[in-house]
Structure 1
Amino acid sequence: MLRIIRRVIYAASTLAVLSQPTAHADIVNLPPHEKTFASDTGSFTVGTHDEVINRIAPLNSIPTSREALVSTVAYGRLDGQAEGVLKTGYSVGCPAKIGAVLPGIDPTTEFGLEGPQQNYATEQAQRQATEQSQSQTVERSSNGESVQSRTQSSGQSQEFESGQVQEFNGVLPSIAVDPGLFLELELQPGDITNVDIGDGKPLIPGKTVQIVTRDFHIKVDNCVGPATIRQYTYIETSTPEVDDSGAVFGEPTTL
């Protein structure tokens, strides 16, 4: 007897750590940050205010994707005669990311024995033979001597003796085949990516320069676990003698 068992296994246990996508808009207001740096080029100030993060549900409705709309005002001021540029953006971090989805096969085969086996015809023939042996009767003749005689159902016993009813008392082999199809998710270490907002704004000595951002779209894909974003704003200054820089960072916020 051959039994074939087919089974497909999806190895997705690693997805148990995934957080669910945000079902509705979630607005977070963050505090302002500002720093003033003394420099040989003259002091300079860098800061942010009115930072708002609007966490929204991803359009693909997949737990490994995150989306947010961010708004902020980044500013900088040079109090010297240096040249400079103001830059802002967001750092995006992910604990782990999904790499390739690898299909595979890990077949297994099991062999066994089943038995003993005996069919219905064999059992019927054995019962007939037993009944035949028990059908002996003892008759007494008129002179008092005992005579043994047998009665038998000749038609059924002849059928058994002719070999038309056969018996098989052995064992039967059994085989179970599992093709072992599966899908394996390859997890890779997470990384941190900087998302620049614009190409930078040239600074004007003695004046405050701003970069105003409204609903800038940030999207994270293939992220296992919570994604985290953090705003950065920095100033790079330069004179023929000195290059200098300074930065401020916002509060880390999960998506």
Structure 2
Amino acid sequence: MNKTAMTIAVAAVSMGAVASGFAAGTAEAQPGHQRSWVTDDGWKASIASTHEKVQKVAPLSSVPTSREAFMSMRAVSTLAPPAGQAGSPITGELEAGYMIGCAVQLESVTGSVGASLGIGGSGGGGVSATGPSGNLSISPQALLQPSLSVTMSPGKITTIAFDKKAVGAGRASTTTREGHISIDGCAGPVAVRSYAILKTSTPKANDGNAVYGRVVYL
């Protein structure tokens, strides 16, 4: 298979994936994840994600290269000092959010007369939730029909933090309910995965760990 034919085949598969994933699904509840460890200077630490739910919905734009979902999750941290050191100082940060991946970013669609067919946004499609947007490079065009060409770029993974919280000794948590995520300009499958990260710092050591949820396709 030559390069042009291979590019056309990849584009066709990507557009087919868009069509199959366009309909909204039901909410998917995810199992909790937890990890416990002892820091280098003896603190007992744990990080967990619970109450995770992904509610896929049809995009308001009704554009097949867009996805929308409402995400819920809770991240919980615990920090217990070494034996006999109840007054020892410790600071930390608890972060929770989602990683979003798109196989193929759609940059532009152009007809034979050179008019743009409406793939908007600065620098092409991106991921948005409280502001962040992807800045993408443009790759060579793939000719789909004699009168239609599609410009696509390689896939991209974007990390969006829903919340960050300063923590100390004891238990702390951050909860997101129905957080909104929208993905625009993606001509292939869209995958999301939750994460929760705990970073700690004491006069003697910095430490940290994380847990990750299951991959969900929108």
TM-score of the pair, normalised by structure 2: 0.71
Which residue does the alignment assign to 2:35? 35
By how many angstroms is 1:19 displaced? 3.0
8 Å contact 1:45–1:77 — kept in the other structure? yes
Amino acid at match of 1:31: P
Q: Equivalents in 2 of 1:241, 1:98: separation in Å?
A: 48
Amino acid at match of 2:159: N
Runs of 4+ displaced beyond 6 Å: 11-14
Q: Secondary structure at the match of 1:191?
A: strand
Which residue does the alignment assign to 1:225? 188
Q: Equivalents in 1 of 2:201, 2:49: separation in Å?
A: 22
Which residue does the alignment assign to 1:64? 65
Going from structure 1 to structure 2, the CA distance change for 1:13 and 1:90 (only over 3 Å counts) comes to closer
Amino acid at match of 2:23: A
Q: Equivalents in 2 of 1:208, 1:226: separation in Å?
A: 38
Going from structure 1 to structure 2, the CA distance change for 1:49 and 1:196 (only over 3 Å counts) comes to same
Q: Equivalents in 2 of 1:84, 1:104: separation in Å?
A: 57
By how many angstroms is 1:46 displaced? 0.2
Q: Secondary structure at the match of 1:15?
A: helix
By how many angstroms is 1:14 displaced? 6.5
Q: Equivalents in 2 of 1:220, 1:22: separation in Å?
A: 12
Alignment of 1:27-176 (within 5 A): 27-41=27-41, 42-80=43-81, 81-104=89-112
8 Å contact 1:21–1:65 — kept in the other structure? no
Give the structure with higher Rg (CA).
Answer: 1
Q: Equivalents in 2 of 1:26, 1:91: separation in Å?
A: 20
Report 1 or 2 for greater relative contact order, CA contacts < 8 Å, sequence distance ≥ 6: 1
> How far does the alpha carbon of each residue in 1:129-152 deviate from its partner, in whole angstroms, 9 at most, with x for none?
xxxxxxxxxxxxxxxxxxxxxxxx
Q: Equivalents in 2 of 1:71, 1:197: separation in Å?
A: 10
8 Å contact 2:103–2:188 — kept in the other structure? yes
> How far does the alpha carbon of each residue in 1:173-196 deviate from its partner, in whole angstroms, 9 at most, with x for none?
xxxxxxx97231111110100011
8 Å contact 2:74–2:176 — kept in the other structure? yes
Which residue does the alignment assign to 1:213? 176
Aligned residues between the structures: 170
> How far does the alpha carbon of each residue in 1:188-242 deviate from its partner, in whole angstroms, 9 at most, with x for none?
11010001112x111120x211101100001111112220000000101112332
Q: Equivalents in 2 of 1:14, 1:37: separation in Å?
A: 42
Q: Equivalents in 2 of 1:13, 1:20: separation in Å?
A: 11
Amino acid at match of 1:220: I
By how many angstroms is 1:67 displaced? 0.6
Q: Equivalents in 1 of 2:215, 2:66: separation in Å?
A: 18
Q: Equivalents in 1 of 2:35, 2:24: separation in Å?
A: 35
By how many angstroms is 1:43 displaced? 1.9
Query: Gapped runs of 5+ residues in structure 1?
Result: 1-10, 106-179
By how many angstroms is 1:79 displaced? 1.3
RMSD: 2.4
8 Å contact 1:21–1:61 — kept in the other structure? no
TM-score of the pair, normalised by structure 1: 0.61
Going from structure 1 to structure 2, the CA distance change for 1:88 and 1:245 (only over 3 Å counts) comes to same
% identity of equivalent residues: 31
